[in-house]
Amino acid sequence: MSTSSEFWDDLIVDRSWDVLISLAKEIDFILIGGWAVYLHTKAIKSKDIDIIVDFEGLEKLKLAHGIKKTDFLKKYETKINEISVDIYVPFYSKFIIPAEAVKKNTIRIEGFKVPKPEILLILKQQAELARKDSIKGQKDRVDILNLLLNSGISLKNYIATAEKYGMENYPRRLKEIVRGARSEFSYLGIEDARKIKMLKEKILREIR
């Protein structure tokens, strides 16, 4: 049960990856969201694309693809080959961690610039809190668990970052997600109840 088709159609996922490759040839960006999680973990692909761009990149996207401003979500949107691309811009988009701080905490994986796992986990939690009762919220929780298990994340650094930006509730919510995880483990190909119990206990010990 570890394939991304459990969530999204494989054809859409493949098309999304092709769009992502194409975008990387057009503009410089920081990749966030599900595809960034995939690059860190090599598990569970995505269908939507989420990127942070500077204003120069935004103008290039506007000219090449047309973009729509979504004021209440503080982002821009476009569709390329039927794939949704959410575009975030420093000083306009509202991240729990400032976009400039995200920019300073990136690494390159397979040529893509992505946030370090501790930063990405916090951004994923921000998304999960906003839509936890939806199918995308469930996908967020799978991504969160995936990062915890497969990205080499330092939970010590994660907690320090959460405290630095006044997000003391994030580690608490993370514990809730881990304790309540059931199907999320299945999506990652983990079915054995004893193994799940051991993994939960290990993660919860490290969050304290």
- Judged on CB neighbours under 10 Å (0-12, 13-18, 19+), 21 is exposed
pLDDT in tens, 63-89: 999 999 999 889 999 999 999 999 999
The whole-angstrom separation of Cα 22 and Cα 33 is 18
For residues 46 and 6, the answer to whether their CB atoms sit within 8 Å is no
Residue 122 CB coordination number (10 Å): 21
Ordered by start, the domain boundaries in the chain are 4-207
pLDDT in tens, 102-161: 999 999 999 999 999 999 999 999 999 999 999 889 999 999 999 999 999 999 999 999
Crossing angle of helices 33-41 and 10-26, in 10° steps, is: 100
Residue 88 CB coordination number (10 Å): 24
Strand partners, 80: 83
pLDDT in tens, 185-197: 999 999 999 999 9
Strand partners, 32: 50
**Planar angle of CA 138, 140, 143, nearest 5 degrees:** 115
Residue with tokens 């595809």: 35
The whole-angstrom separation of Cα 128 and Cα 96 is 12
The whole-angstrom separation of Cα 183 and Cα 67 is 36
pTM of the entire structure? Answer: 0.93
Instruction: Evaluate if residue 50 carries a pLDDT over 60.
Output: yes
